């Protein structure tokens, strides 16, 4: 459990064991009422404070390595997720990876435009270079 808590903290999260009766009271009249159906037996609660993807990767990896930990479900963007959905979330790219992909997609048209503008000059340079090689041979 100490290793799990450390890995969760490194992924900008927090792990707590909270009594089910206290959680029921906290969930009453909130948007997270769907979580009440998970309150059977001992439960540990994991809270993500930043990007939930790395945290879900840590949890899935730890659950695969240890049979005693089972993921019952979660909430993401206000929507209830079962354990299969949490596993799917763990397979998604993280927020920085998505931002890098988006930036690359936004830069691609500009890069292609620059290449298109430079191509006529590059053709002339290649032509002169081929003529120079032909004359030296």
The tally of domains found in the chain comes to: 2
- Residue 118 sits in the same domain as residue 52: no
- Residue 112 sits in the same domain as residue 69: no
**Residue 79 domain boundaries:** 2-90
DSSP string, 10-47: HTTEEEEE--HHHHHHHHTTSTTGGGGGG-SS--EEEE
Q: Report how far residue 8's alpha carbon sits from residue 46's, in angstroms, rounded to the nearest whole number.
A: 8
Q: What is the pLDDT of residue 36?
A: 86
pLDDT in tens, 59-116: 999 988 888 888 888 888 888 888 888 888 888 888 888 889 888 888 888 888 888 8
H/E stretch holding 74 reads: strand 73-76
Q: What is the pLDDT of residue 108?
A: 83
- Residue 16 sits in the same domain as residue 79: yes
- Residue 99 sits in the same domain as residue 68: no
Residues 49, 14 contacting (CB under 8 angstroms): yes
- Residue 6 sits in the same domain as residue 58: yes
pLDDT in tens, 38-65: 888 888 899 988 888 888 999 999 988 8
Q: Report how far residue 45's alpha carbon sits from residue 11's, in angstroms, rounded to the nearest whole number.
A: 15
pLDDT in tens, 3-24: 989 999 998 899 999 899 999 9
Q: What is the CATH number of the domain that holds 56?
A: 3.30.70.1730
Report which of 80, 59, 79 is spatially closest to residue 71, judged by C-alpha positions: 59
- Residue 32 sits in the same domain as residue 84: yes
Length of the chain: 137
Structure tokens at 21: 């009766």
Q: What is the pLDDT of residue 130?
A: 92
């Amino acid at each position: 459990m100490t290793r799990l808590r450390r890995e969760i903290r490194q992924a900008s999260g927090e792990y707590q064991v909270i009594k089910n009766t206290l959680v029921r009271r906290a969930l009453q009249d909130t948007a997270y009422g769907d979580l009440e159906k998970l309150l059977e037996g001992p439960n540990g609660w994991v809270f993500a404070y930043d990007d939930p993807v790395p945290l879900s990767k840590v949890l899935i990896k730890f659950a695969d390595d240890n049979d005693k930990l089972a993921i019952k479900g979660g909430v993401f963007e206000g929507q209830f997720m079962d354990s299969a959905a949490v596993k799917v979330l763990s397979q998604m790219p993280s927020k920085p990876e998505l931002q890098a992909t988006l930036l690359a997609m936004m830069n691609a048209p500009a890069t292609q435009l620059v290449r298109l503008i430079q191509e006529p000059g590059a053709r002339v340079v290649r032509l002169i270079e081929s003529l120079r090689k032909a004359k030296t041979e």
